[in-house]
Amino acid sequence: MECMKNGGRSAIPSRVLMDWDWRERLVSERGRSWIEANQEKALMNIKEKNAKLYKHVPALDETRKLREKLQYVSMYLFTCRESVAEDFRRRIWPKEYLHSEIDKYSFSDLLDVKEGSLQKKLNQLLKHAISHVMGCTLCRQKGFICELCSLNDVIYPFQTDETHRCFVCFSVFHKPCWKTSGECPKCLRRQQFETRRQQIDDPHSLLVLQP
C-alpha cells in the first residue's frame, strides 16, 4: 500500500514526548512527510500531555525555568516604549509562544533542547531583556519591595531563584521570607477589607457590631 511505503528512519514525536526516546525507527513515507511538515509547529503541550517529563529530563526542566523567567521579564518590555516591545518581538519571532505559552514545544524545539541550542537562545534573550529592565528608568519603577522583611532592595518576578510571586495578586517577595511567612500581606489586607465591607453591607451584621 502507498501509505506504508518505506520512508526511512526517524525519531518518533510521540515517543519523545512520552519517554524522551530519541531512537530512530522505521517510518512510512507518509509518516516522514507528516513529521517534516509539522516539525516547526508548536503542537506539543508537555504540561498537559506528560508533565512528569520535566522531572525526568533535566535539560527540559532547565528550559522551562528559563522560559518562565522570559515570560516574566517580557511583561516589562511590553509595557515599556513601543520600540522596546517591537525589538523583543523581532528577536523572538516566529516563536512568540516561547514566552507566552511556556509549556508548548514544536518537535524541532525538543531537538534543540536535547542539543542545548534552545537553552542558549533563551539565555541570550534573557540577558538582553534583563539588561534593559535594569537600565531602564521606567521598567525599574515597576519592581517590588518585599513586604515581609525590612529590606528596601527592589526585586523582580523574573528573579525566580531568589523571589516568590503570589499566584493571586502577583506581588513579589524574597523566597526565604515567603517560606517563613507563607501569607501574602496584600491578599490578607484584601480579605480583611472584604470582610469589613460585607459586615457593613449586611444589615444583620450591623446589629452584631453595635455595643
Among 27-31, 45-49, 149-153, 204-208, whose mean pLDDT is lowest?
204-208
At 204 the pLDDT is 59
Long-range contacts of 55-60 (CB under 8 A, 24+ apart): 56/20, 57/20, 57/113, 59/113, 59/114, 59/116, 59/119, 60/20, 60/110, 60/113
Q: Which helix (H) or strand (E) holds 3?
A: none
At 193 the pLDDT is 87
Q: Are 160 and 65 in contact (CB under 8 A)?
A: yes
The rounded percent of the chain whose pLDDT value lies above 90 is 82
Domain chopping of the chain, boundaries: 1-38, 47-140, 143-206
The cell for 173 is 517577595
